[in-house]
Amino acid sequence: MSSQWECLLKNLGEWHGSFTRLSPQGQLLEDTPTVVSFEGINDNQTMRQIVRRLPTDAPVNEKVLEYSSLGKGIKIFDNGAFSQGSVQWGPFSEFGAELGLIAGDRRLRLVQLFDKEAKLERITLIREKLAGTDTPERPPLTVEQLLGEWQGEAVTLYPDLRSPDTYPTQLQLQRQDSDTLTQKLTFGTGDSARTITSSGRIDGSILHFEQGSLPVQVLLLPDGASSNCPLQLKPRHSLVLEVGWLLEPDLRQRMVRRYSEQGEWVSLTLVTERKVAA
């Protein structure tokens, strides 16, 4: 496996896109054009990152960062996909993370932020393409596109620097009626395999999974994206923050940032899955 710094270099280039701020229910609040550039300097030993926001009704806002090491809240996969964010959640603290996927000359990033009352405060969807490319954005995600059986491979990285794990996954999503679906997720093999089943309520472009002790919602978003997280965090409950990206009708990526019952960040998983049955 490449070093974390070598994985970061997969993001080099100038990325043109927008920061789309959404309410917890997925309503559009603000959309700001952006240019984010990553330039390796000092023989790629230092990264210069420039973030330019280009609002139509205000001056350009530019932020320049230079760094030669990575913080403890970030992990990066071999293809350049990454997540950075809080390493610990506790009551009365702001909390959140960014989850970033990359495919060819496009990137998709999602930021999920919670306020000091542990409520989901806002979501930011960031859709980008490399300068000089014209790969089109994907259509908004629909329930019908997700239905079926998906088989994939997961790679899990750990903050404590232990070796990554790789294992198979299987996801089955079936509609029960016009406003209900069931989900069955299996990961691992043999005695270590685990299966999680749940049922969700379909409400337009929102899927509500409410039967657990920590209800979650899935927002179906533009560019084939999805956001999966709780609306309200609770002490002594494990949680996940997840982004999904439908790259092709039968190809999807998901990234899952997992926290323990003590609120500690424990793993980051990248799943690449293909639909094998409708």
pLDDT for the residue 161: 82
pLDDT for the residue 1: 63
4-277 homologous superfamily: Calycin beta-barrel core domain (2.40.128.20)
Burial group, residue 143, by CB count within 10 angstroms (0-12, 13-18, 19+): middle
- What the block records as the tokens of 196 is 């999680």
Q: Regarding beta strands 251-259 and 239-248, do their DSSP bridges make them parallel or antiparallel, or are they unpaired?
A: antiparallel
Express each pLDDT in 239-261 by its tens digit: 999 999 999 999 999 999 999 99
Which helix H or strand E contains 5, and what residues bound it?
helix 4-8
pLDDT for the residue 87: 98
Query: Which sequence spans correspond to the domains of the chain?
Result: 4-277
Confidence band, pLDDT 50/70/90 cuts, at residue 189: confident
User: CB–CB of 226/206 below 8 Å?
Assistant: no
Q: What is each CA distance from 120 to 25, 36, 132, 202, 212, in whole angstroms? A: 10, 26, 36, 20, 17
Question: Average pLDDT of 36-64?
Answer: 96
Express each pLDDT in 45-55 by its tens digit: 999 999 999 99
Query: What percent of the residues of the chain are helix, what percent strand, and what percent coil, each to the nearest 5?
Result: 5, 60, 35
Question: Average pLDDT of 111-134?
Answer: 97
d(CA 50, CA 38): 7
Share of the chain above pLDDT 90, in %: 93
pTM recorded for the entire structure: 0.96
Express each pLDDT in 160-176 by its tens digit: 989 999 999 999 999 99
109 beta partners: 100, 126
